[in-house]
Amino acid sequence: MARIALVTGASRGIGRAIALRLARDGFRIWANYSGSQEAAESLCAEIIAAGGSAKPLQFNVADGEQTTRVLEAIIEEEEGPEVVVSNAGITRDGLMAMMSAKEWQAVIDTNLGGFFHVTKACLRPMLRKRNGRVIAISSVSGEAGNAGQVNYSASKAGLIGACKALAKEIASRKITVNVVAPGFVETDMVKDLPKEELAKQVPLGRFGTVQEIAAAVAFLAGPEASYITGQVLGVNGGMYM
């Protein structure tokens, strides 16, 4: 039986590309989404049509109770995922002086809280099997900071700290924990940004593609990355070195 990869926020953008790539690499996909049921179902249909296996899984990663309930039920029914990709994320941008506590909290709860709830729910079977890969999608904003994004930058920097700490906690069980930190990538999340202007800030002169992020995740999930843990892999066209 093929191994399972859970990808959160798989209905659109980077998560969708990660799910497609890991399916191509032979994983059975659990494709989490929050609201985009149709998109998640169409992703799974595409994977199945190509000869793979995928199922949509609805839960809000910011809701710890719901996330734990859904994941514990499916893990009990099938088995635990070998690869967990915490990709689901949101932005609520604005200068800090204008930012509401609600905007701050929503981003922290989804981007950082989501990682905690999802990873914790999948950890026990990984520990038992002494095998697993945990991968979090951070951002160049979490490494360098970005004006207008104190909430987002804090959540993404938090992921880096959390992954380094977890990597130390579970390395003895042969589970690796790593971070992929993209720069600008063409998805819904950045559709309102001035693309040509921003591309000038990127040494490689362009936005990244979702496939380029998925390739980094596939590497960290694959056999050739077995000795890499606690690392941050920047996929950012040179924006942050």
Tell me whether residue 36 or residue 131 sits nearer to ligand NAP (CB atom). Answer: 36
110 sits near ligand NAP (criterion: CB under 6 A)? yes
Selected from 70, 83, 84, 87, the binder of ligand NAP by CB under 6 A is 87
Structural contact between residues 117 and 61, judged by C-beta atoms closer than 8 angstroms: yes
205 sits near ligand NAP (criterion: CB under 6 A)? no
Nearest distance from C-beta of residue 31 to ligand NAP, angstroms: 9
Q: Smallest Cα–Cα separation from 9: which of 131, 125, 136, 102?
A: 136
Selected from 36, 66, 105, 211, the binder of ligand NAP by CB under 6 A is 36
56 sits near ligand NAP (criterion: CB under 6 A)? no
Runs of H (alpha helix) within 2-113:
13-24, 37-49, 64-77, 101-107
Structural contact between residues 9 and 118, judged by C-beta atoms closer than 8 angstroms: no
Distances, alpha carbon 238 to alpha carbons 147, 202, 208, 234, 241, in Å: 19, 6, 11, 8, 6
152 is catalytic: yes
Query: What tokens appear for 235 in the block?
Result: 């996929």
89 sits near ligand NAP (criterion: CB under 6 A)? yes
Of residues 145 through 204, those in contact with ligand NAP by CB under 6 A are: 182, 184-185, 187-190
Q: How many residues bind ligand NAP (CB under 6 A)?
A: 30
Owner of token pair 């985009």: 36
Selected from 22, 32, 103, 121, the binder of ligand NAP by CB under 6 A is 32
Q: Is the dihedral of CA 143, 148, 154, 160 positive or negative?
A: negative
Catalog residues that contact ligand NAP under the rule CB under 6 A.
Answer: 8-9, 11-15, 32-36, 39, 60-62, 87-90, 110, 137, 139, 182, 184-185, 187-190
